Chain A
């Protein structure tokens, strides 16, 4: 064991869907205990990067994909319960569909109360609003009870105040977290490290304390940031972003 605290390591990693490259030359190391925010315009490769990280340690990760990945016909209770499916046997899991297990019921009610879902606990999730659905997805991730949280836009459908509360709750419950966000302020205020992706490359990787909101805004407006090596730019031929030089 070379490095006990190193959780994820990507070295010059690339990924493409068919002919379309989505990630190129990614170098990223995530240590135990880090809270990392992933930023970047949509289509930059954030979701793909999260999936690559998930594939490295699926057993220890609570994954919350974009859109929440809820199962429409099942209730809020069952959608949260799924996160702990490895802690019960097959028969108990089947029985739980007919009659909720007493212990799970207690645990999940507690989570639902924290998330403000207690009144909706027995509703099918297809009847819920976007914000409620997102809280159910958070509930499932919490019920996974893993040390690492990987979230893809986990609070995009709730109002700013709720987003702040939910995010700090998620971060408090997990030792390590990698979260993609589009709200730059949330990223700067809640995380200790910020990684910015642009057209499938990492163009900024630094401590949140060193960054300002204005600096971050620039990555969304243009490419060619100080952190990007000029060689990288030349290799990147199909950019649709307005070039400054």
Chain B
């Protein structure tokens, strides 16, 4: 596959002509679709549930008639969810900014790539072994990977800024002062808007941390579903949707200090954890396989071979297969759903239901969607792929529709502009396609991380084996699996960056 990728790359580099850009886009797409088709027969897509439709109607009814008997506990869950997200971003963004200033150091770049390639939930599982179900676990689980992401994206933003203001500074000016007077104010709008977007992501992460036991919305959602309290589950889903949709109305810079204080106060207390875990023991002993600590090489080889055959390879394979199918399905969802929300295709009024649908898909965490589908179809790859495709498809389709509307506003309409399906096929889609594809590849690594984590729900991806290793208190296994997942993630990140460069679309 790597060879084919490289071929597609070199082709597109060798032929910078206008008509060949469509060909290189097509070859990249065909490659992705072909790989997904190859993946289909090997991925586990069985439907276990006997009667998904009655379950679906009950969930639908719960969504239509949300209800909550204890409003206080709902408020508390929302409070915890916001508190984790707010404090984690408040710490991770400045840390990431500092790291972005030294991002030219290879060690920093590697460290950031490593921490961000492990999903928040896996970090949560790791810190839970050390700090139990506590505020510290929730905070660290979000802020560690987020710091890595902030550092990388902030450094990229700095790179796009003009260098001339820095040229006029005295060469002897202190490094930090140089940043604070030139690059940071130069890029402040971009830094802030990315931080705002990351806060939205942090809310989602915070909510799904409930699935591993922290007292956020996800925890209540899971128990409501388990007990069949569908109207409670509906209320939680609505609450989360409103929370995300209303961010821009309540997240005011002036109110931030107040919010941060409130968040500190709202942090949950530590529950059910008596003996404080020893960090040093965890790092120096627990996470290493016993044969390695004893220097017993044959036993270590046996341990490694066993792990590879029974857990690493099957987990890796399922993760990759599901990712591939999910990425292509995401593309299909985007192409089908963006016209519903674009002014030029759906019309100025009819686009609103479409926009609402996309916003809902974008707001709902993949994990929650997957959990819903899991109730319908049983624990196979199907719910995972559907959830990933719907969430990411909705997110990208929303951006694509916005880009289309923005262009619509600046371009004067031509009297001979086609409309309807013809406009979709001949004008809008070709214009949007390069940016759409760039966004899709950008999400590729995210989809990979997510499909690994879906194992926590019982699907046989890497997360499944990691979760069981933690349950059996076999930290050595858990660590090996997490490291393998992180490496895979870095490989996909590199491939997707090269592919994106190959068709050189302007990033949106």
Residues of A within 8 A of B (CB): 54, 58-59, 63-65, 67, 69-74, 78, 81-90, 93-94, 97, 137, 140-141, 144
B174's partner among A69, A89, A97, A140 (CB-CB below 8 A) is: A89
B180 touches A97 (CB 8 A): yes
Contact B169 A82 (CB under 8 A): yes
Is B176 part of the contact surface with A, judged by Cβ < 8 Å? yes
Interface pairs A-B: 8 shortest CB-CB: A86-B170, A85-B173, A69-B164, A93-B177, A86-B172, A73-B185, A90-B174, A69-B165
- One digit per residue, 1 when the CB lies within 8 angstroms of any chain A CB and 0 when it does not, for chain B 449-461 equals 0000000000000
Contact of B181 among A54, A67, A85 (CB under 8 A): A85
Cα distance A72–B165 when bound, in Å?
10
Check A69/B176 contact, CB under 8 A, given A78-B181, A82-B181, A82-B182.
Answer: no
**Is the pair B168, A83 in contact by a Cβ cutoff of 8 Å?**
yes
Count of B residues near A, CB < 8 Å? 20
Q: Which residues of A contact B180 (CB under 8 A)?
A: 93-94, 97
B186 touches A85 (CB 8 A): no
Q: Are B174 and A93 in contact (CB under 8 A)?
A: yes
Chain A residues contacting B171 (CB-CB under 8 Å) are 58-59, 86
**Are B185 and A72 in touch, CB under 8 angstroms?**
yes
Establish whether residues B168 and A90, one from each chain, have CB atoms under 8 Å apart when the complex forms: no
| B498: interface (CB < 8 Å) | no
For window 132-179 of chain B, which residues contact chain A by CB distance below 8 Å?
162, 164-165, 167-174, 176-178
User: For B162, B165, B174, which residue has the most chain A Cβ atoms within 10 angstroms?
Assistant: B165
Bound complex: CA A87 to CA B177 (Å): 11
Known contacts A90-B176, A94-B177: does B182 contact A84 (CB below 8 Å)? Answer: no
Interface status of B188 (Cβ within 8 A of chain A): yes
B308 to chain A, nearest CB (A): 48
Q: Are B162 and A69 in contact (CB under 8 A)?
A: yes
**Complex: A58 Cα to B185 Cα, angstroms:** 24
Residues of B that sit less than 8 Å from A by CB: 162, 164-165, 167-174, 176-178, 180-182, 185-186, 188
Q: Indicate if the CB atoms of A84 and B174 lie closer than 8 Å.
A: no
In this complex, what residue of A is CB-closest to B162?
A: A69
Determine if A71 and B185 form an interchain contact, defined as CB atoms under 8 angstroms apart.
Answer: yes
* Complex CA–CA separation, A137 to B165 (angstroms): 10
Chain A residue nearest to B182 (CB atoms) is A71
- A58–B170 alpha-carbon span in the complex (Å): 8
Neighbouring A residues of B186 by C-beta, 8 Å: 71-73
Q: Are B177 and A70 in contact (CB under 8 A)?
A: no
- How many inter-chain residue pairs (CB < 8 Å) link A and B? 75
Contact call B177/A71, Cβ cutoff below 8 A: no
Task: Among A67, A78, A82, point to the contact of B164 (Cβ < 8 A).
Answer: A67
B164, B173, B176, B181: which contacts A74 (Cβ < 8 A)?
A: B181
Cα–Cα distance between A54 and B168 once the two chains are bound (Å): 10
Report Cα–Cα, A144/B172, bound state, in Å.
11
27 A-B contact pairs sorted by A residue (CB < 8 Å):
A69-B167, A70-B165, A71-B165, A71-B181, A71-B185, A71-B186, A73-B185, A73-B186, A73-B188, A82-B165, A83-B168, A83-B170, A85-B174, A86-B172, A87-B170, A88-B177, A90-B174, A90-B176, A90-B177, A93-B173, A93-B176, A93-B177, A93-B181, A94-B177, A94-B180, A144-B168, A144-B170
Alpha-carbon gap, A78 to B185, bound state (A): 11
State whether B167 touches A65 (Cβ < 8 A). yes
Give Cα distance in the complex from A174 to B164, angstroms.
22
Tell me the complex Cα distance, A63–B171, Å: 11
Q: Is the Cβ of B168 less than 8 Å from the Cβ of A64?
A: yes
Most buried by B among A81, A82, A140, A144: A82
Shortest CB-to-CB span from B378 to chain A, Å, is: 54
* Shortest distance from the beta carbon of A237 to any chain B beta carbon, whole Å: 25
- Residues of chain A within 8 A (CB-CB) of B164 are 65, 67, 69
Is A63 in contact with B168, judged by CB distance below 8 angstroms?
A: yes
CA of A63 to CA of B169 in the docked complex: distance in angstroms? Answer: 8
Given contacts A59-B172, A71-B185, A73-B188, contact A85 B177 (CB under 8 A): yes
Q: How far, in whole Å, are A58 and B188 apart by their CA atoms in the complex? A: 28
A77 to B407, CA, bound (A): 38
Bound CA–CA A64/B168 (angstroms): 7
User: Known interface pairs A89-B174, A90-B174. Does A65 touch B168 (Cβ–Cβ under 8 Å)?
Assistant: yes
Q: Which residues of B contact A97 (CB under 8 A)?
A: 180-181
Please state if B178 and A85 are interface contacts (CB–CB under 8 Å).
yes
Give Cα A83–Cα B162 distance, bound, in whole angstroms.
Answer: 17
A146 to chain B, nearest CB (A): 8
Compute how far the CA of A137 lies from the CA of B182 in the bound complex, rounded to whole angstroms: 14
> From A85, which residue of chain B is reached at the shortest CB distance?
B173
* Distance A62 CA – B177 CA, assembled complex (angstroms): 18
Q: Nearest residue in A to B178 (C-beta to C-beta)? A: A85
User: Which chain A residues lie closer than 8 Å to B169 at the CB level?
Assistant: 82-83, 85
What is the chain A residue whose CB lies nearest that of B177? A93
Q: Separation in Å of the A115 CB from the closest CB of chain B?
A: 16
* Cβ contacts under 8 Å, A54 to chain B: 167
| Cβ–Cβ < 8 Å partners of B168 in chain A | 63-65, 69, 82-83, 137, 140-141, 144
Q: How far is the CA of A56 from the CA of B42 in the complex (A)?
A: 64
Expressed in whole angstroms, the Cα–Cα distance for A70 and B166 within the complex equals 10
Instruction: Give complex CA distance A115, B162 in Å.
Output: 26
Q: In the complex, how many angstroms separate the beta carbon of A152 from the nearest chain B beta carbon?
A: 10
Name the A residues within 8 Å of B174 (CB-CB).
85-86, 89-90, 93
Interfacial chain B residues near A73, Cβ < 8 Å = 185-186, 188
Q: Across the interface, name the chain B residue whose C-beta is closest to A73.
A: B185
Q: Which residue of A lies closest to B171 (CB)?
A: A58
Residues of A within 8 A of B185 (CB): 71-74
Determine whether the beta carbon of A86 is less than 8 Å from that of B173.
yes
**Chain A minimum-CB-distance residue to B189:** A73
Residues on B with beta carbons closer than 8 Å to the beta carbon of A74 = 181, 185
Chain B residues closer than 8 Å to A71, beta-carbon distance: 165, 181-182, 185-186
Q: CA A88 – CA B173 in complex, angstroms?
A: 8
Residues of chain A within 8 A of B178, CB atoms compared:
85
Min Cβ gap B189→A in Å is 8
